[in-house]
Amino acid sequence: MIKVHPQYVVDERQQRTAVLLPLAEWEQILDYLEELDDIHAYDEAKTGSQEIMPFEQAVREIDEGSES
Which pLDDT belongs to residue 68?
A: 56
Residue 15 lies in a domain: yes
Which pLDDT belongs to residue 56?
A: 92
Q: Using an 8 Å Cβ cutoff, are 18 and 7 in contact?
A: no
State if pTM tops 0.75: no
Query: Which domain, by its residues, includes 47?
Result: 7-66
> Based on the structure, what is the number of domains in the chain?
1
Residue 18 lies in a domain: yes
Residue 1 lies in a domain: no
**What are the E-state strand segments in 1-68?**
7-10, 16-20
Ordered per-residue pLDDT tens for the chain, 68 residues: 889 999 999 999 999 999 999 999 999 999 999 999 999 988 888 887 677 889 999 899 888 887 65
